[in-house]
Structures are given as structure tokens and as C-alpha cells.
Amino acid sequence: MQVEEKLELTYNALRVLEKRYLLKDEYGNPIETPEEMFRRVARAVAAGDENEQERCEEEFYQMMSRLEFLPNSPTLMNAGTENGQLAACFILPVPDSIDGIFTAIRQMALIHQTGGGTGFSFSRLRPRDDMVKYKGLVASGPLSFMRVFDGATDVVKQGGRRRGANMGILRMDHPDILDFITAKEKEGFLNNFNISVAVTDEFMEAVKNRSYYYLINPRTNQKVKRLWAPKVFDLMAQMAWKTGDPGIIFLDGINRHNPTPQIGEIESTNPCGEQPLLPFESCNLGSINLARVVKDGQIDWEKLRYLVRIGGHFLDNVINVTKFPLPEIAGVTLANRKIGLGIMGFAELLIQLGIPYNSSQALTTAESLMKFISEEAKKKSIELAQTRGAFPNYPGSLWDRLGYPPMRNATTTTIAPTGTISLIAGTSSGIEPLFAIAFVRHIMEGTELLEINSLFEKIAREKGFYQQEMIEQIAQEGTIRKVSGIPTDLKQLFVTAFDISPEWHVRIQAAFQKYTDNAVSKTINLPPHSTPDEVKKAFLLAYDSKCKGVTVYRYDSKKVQVLYVGSGEQGKKKRGPSKNLEFRNEKERCLKVDSEFAGDCKICFV
């Protein structure tokens, strides 16, 4: 493959593009270059403009080819193709009937086939052993049907490129909630789901006040039992510590910021939690690469303003040109026109500014950045409404009630995990810290590459302490905390996910959430020696900090994981039927990841 000189793509970025994004012939061989892919996408999305299509195409192309902004994966994969489905996030309702449930499964399969991820609330399903229509039969409950969704996901690849991803949500007052909380205790169960418990303010206050709350049968809306809230909350923390699931979504907090409350309540999110949506609603996402908005050690605010405006224009166009997988989704999406403009490369921006990730200055920077992005995105949405019209549900919306001028989009901002698009852009994932300074990436069978953070390597060479032996030592652990010969100020600057306390992870998430319309995808990483009590504290801090949800992951909590440090017998125990983990021999101790790991959401790449 020929790489155009203007494209600054890493070897691994090229491999990911070849594997999943570039168009292929019938034999699986790429028939376009990365430059041609960006041109294809720019041309297709610019077709959403009635006027000045050529100018828009060039602006969109330049923004993507310079890796300053990238849209979600379905847009890169499908724009300008027969598939034509460009959104990443979909929510489907699950009614309490056999016909409704299996209709939702069919709809899920159609969405996965086009490259989208799906979220569901199973809270409307009657509980296990409840009565059903036919005499002598009883209901099997939400978890049994989730297994059917999971099985269907296994056999349908998204757009033929990747396996599907789902979010499964159950309210804390559903009678089957305890079984739901412990569902992932069995390794491999519901593998294609992230699961989250939807909690209310009332429940959280019951946790704090150490009191009881009631379970309610959704079929009858009658109270059936009461549980001690602290015990349920402790179980959630225990399971999250043990398995990484469940996460939590704060349902009342989400609906307080629901931009169209007159249309309905939000019950679910997309697979990684950053996009709360109404039933049958979709949203397309795009992320600005913050690592490329630093100039002479300062944030280039004018460049950032330009990217926000062009990025918002691009995402609104996507709604115009996408092919909706279901007519119901077309109806709700076109009525609200939600877009999710976000960021990636926050960790690398901080490094370029000389700001440690776990510092008050980082919090101030996060708030300033997101406030600016939010304000500029809304200005652009208001401008678009003046020429294209406001989103149809604007009258009676939150923005209408707050006195905003008519807007083109019900929401404008979302912080996604970015996944593979951050690999293509060659930067850190979303707002996550660096997951390692140096590591070995498994590229393909028999091929592994040592990757070093380019900013660290540059500084190490400039300051004269770069040594190959030092890099190999860093690659063994991922972090530089215990490596000698590195200045203390750089050890504070180049912190990794496991160097940072849970409190700082949550505080960074909350700082971004303050100025984000939708939600923020962020993993609270915990070292293996962490305790369930630390998980509980993170959950409580997330609620008190007004986050819309929270997800934790404790290293070593799964038999098979995408990042592993270790060797010998311990390493062999960790190896499973996954290509994510590779060890060259028993004596070697090395941090290794698979070709598409970016240190982000554990289930999907958006």
C-alpha cells in the first residue's frame, strides 16, 4: 500500500485501516488508500449541503486527513457505499411481550449488520416466575431474554467488520435486580454486553441514609418486596470489583438534562454509556484531536474554534445523508437531530502543556476546554438553524424553556471513548490518561512491535536520558514510576491509568461532564490490590460530582483481558481463546496489547 506523504499514519494505524476501514474487493484486498478513504467520506458527507459542496468537501477532507478530527467508525466505513449507515449509537425499546422482544432482536441484528451499537433497558420486562397469559406458564425474566440478544449478537458482525456491542440496563427497583447485578460473575456470560444498573436519586439517598427501598413489578406497578439499599449498593461495588460489571447510570441526573422531556424519558444509553437516547433514537459522533491544537506550548483556541464549527457542520450533514436502518429510527432521529462532538488526545494535550493528569490544573483545563467547545458548538448549531431550520422538537424543549434561540441539534456534545479512531489519529483515547508509556503491540501472527509514547521519547532524547535498556524496562511495567534515571517532574507528567487514584479519574470525568450535553465515557481504572470499598467510594463520588454514569475496571479481574503485564505461570493462566494476549516465553515479563487496544471502553470501538 502506498501512503501519501501528507498522511502521518503509524504502522499500526495502517494495519487497522486495512483490516477494518478501507474498501475491499471480493477477495478481501484493499481497493482504496487511506487518503482515498478520507476523500470518499468527505465527498459523501458534503453531499448534505445544498450549496458549496466542493468547499465543504475540501474542508472535511483536510480536517480528517490531518488527523485533527475523525468521525465514528460507521461513518469512515460506510460513507459513500451502498450500506450508507453512518451512526454509531442506537437505542431500541424492549416491550413486555414475546412479539415485542423478538422484534427488538430482529431490529438489533439489522443495526449491527450496518455497523451500529445498541442499548436496551430491560426494565419493562416482567420478573422471573411472574404470571403470563397462558395458564400453567411463568415468565423467565429479563436475564433469560438477554441471553437470546447476546446469542444473536454473536452471529451478526457489524457491517461485516466487527462483532456487535450492546448495553443492557435494569432499574434498581426491578424484582430481578440481584440476579442482574451478579450476572457477569460467570466468566463469558453475556460477553457482548456491558451491563449497568439504572439508579434514581431516591435510591442513592437511601444508600446514604442506610434505609430500605421497594422493588416494583413492572407488569402491575405494585410493590413486591423491600431491600436494604446499602446492601444492594455494596453488591454492585463487589461485582464491579470482581468482574468490571455492572456500571451505574444515574437516571434522574440524565433526565434532568434530557433536551426533549416533552417527547419522553430516557431509559438507556449506548454500549459505552456516553450517549443517553430515547427509544428508537440514534446519534452520530465525532472527535477533535486535542493533541493537534497545541501551538508553542499553548492551546490554539482559534484552531479549536474552527474544528468545532466544521466538526459540528460535518455531523449535522451526516444526519442528512445517512441511510437509517429502521423507519422508526429515522422518525425520532430527524425530529431531534442529536449530534455528539467530542475529543480525543486529552492526555497528550496535557503533556504538551506540562500539566500532570492528576492535578487541579488538569481539572481547570478540562473545564475550560469543554466550556469553550460546548459554547462554540451551540453557536454553530444556532447558525445552522437559521439556514436549515431548527430540530422539529425544539418547541417545548429544554433549550426553548431556557430561552436559547432555535437550534439545529437537540444535543451537540458527547465524550466518546474513541477506540480505534484514536489509534488511527495516533493519540490517546478520549479523555483517558495514557495506559502505558511503552508496551509491545501484537500486530499479526508472529509480528510484534515495541511502541513508545512519542512525546516521552522526544523529551527523553532531548534531555539526554534515552536508553534502549530503560525503554525495555518501561515496557515491562508500562509505567515509569520505578524507573531510575528519569527526572521527577517527568514522572509526575507522564502518569498512566494505574498511577492515578480512582478519585482523580472521577474528578476528571466530572469536569468534562459539567459542559457536555450528553454523557462522558470514562473508565475508572483500579490496580489489582484495590478493594470493593474503593469501588464504592468511586461510585459515590461520581454521583455527588454529577456524573451521568460510572464504570470501573480492576486490573486482573477477568481471566482474559486486553492488557496484561506478566509472564511465567501467571501469564499462562491468563491466556485464553483470545488473540489479545501473547507471551513470547515464560521468562519474559512484558506488557502486551492487541492491535486495536487503545486503553478505552472494554466492549466496543466507536
d(C-alpha 221, C-alpha 52), whole Å: 55
Out of 78, 194, 267, 272, pick the active-site residue: 272
HSE at residue 358, side-chain half, CA atoms within 13 A, is: 17
Number of helices (H), then strands (E), in the chain: 22, 22
In this structure, which amino acid lies at residue 504? W
Active site residue 274: yes
Residue for cell digits 460477553? 191
Which residues fall within 8 angstroms of residue 525, CB to CB, at 6 or more apart?
A: 497, 498, 500, 505, 552, 553, 555
d(C-alpha 151, C-alpha 216), whole Å: 29
d(C-alpha 458, C-alpha 472), whole Å: 16
In this structure, which amino acid lies at residue 451? E
Residue 433 has what DSSP assignment?
A: P
In this structure, which amino acid lies at residue 196? S
**Nearest CA-CA partner of 547 in 123, 285, 252:** 252
Active site residue 358: no
Out of 270, 284, 317, 518, pick the active-site residue: 270
Out of 57, 274, 451, 477, pick the active-site residue: 274
- Rounded to the nearest 10 degrees, how much is the dihedral formed by the CA atoms of 361, 363, 365, 370? -170
Residue for cell digits 462554540? 376
Q: Is 268 helix (H, G, I), strand (E, B) or coil?
A: strand
Active site residue 72: no
Q: Is 601 left (phi over 0), alpha (psi -120 to 50) or beta?
A: beta
Catalytic residues: 270, 272, 274
